[in-house]
């Protein structure tokens, strides 16, 4: 069986509707986990950066577990 995710949003730059569709098999779902924070601390000038190398990293949300 599969889980189907359908998202609809608005691209505010071009005022266009955007659609995205993804599907996942049950064995692809990671339970009791969340994505890690990909934002780096702001620089002294206030610039905020994103570490895209962490985009697929997840961590356990259980209290006693380590990174998955």
What tens digit of pLDDT does each residue of 3-62 get?
A: 999 999 999 999 999 999 999 999 999 999 999 999 999 999 999 999 999 999 999 998
pLDDT value of position 68: 55
What are 6's strand-pairing partners?
21
Backbone phi and psi for residue 67, each to the nearest 5 degrees, phi listed first: -55, 150
Is pTM beyond 0.75? Reply is no
If one counts every other C-beta atom within 10 angstroms of the C-beta of residue 23, the result is 10
**pLDDT above 60 for 67:** no
Residue-wise DSSP of 11-29: ETTTTEEEEEEEEEEGGG-
pLDDT value of position 1: 85
pLDDT value of position 66: 58
* Residue partners of 59: CB distance under 8 A and separation at least 6: 33, 34, 35, 36, 67, 68
């Amino acid at each position: 069986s599969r889980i189907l995710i359908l998202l609809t949003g608005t691209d505010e730059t071009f005022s266009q509707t955007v659609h995205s569709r993804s599907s996942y098999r049950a064995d692809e779902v990671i339970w009791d986990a969340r994505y890690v924070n990909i934002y780096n601390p702001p620089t002294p000038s206030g610039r905020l950066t994103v570490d895209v190398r962490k985009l697929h990293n997840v961590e356990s949300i259980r209290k006693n577990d380590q990174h998955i």
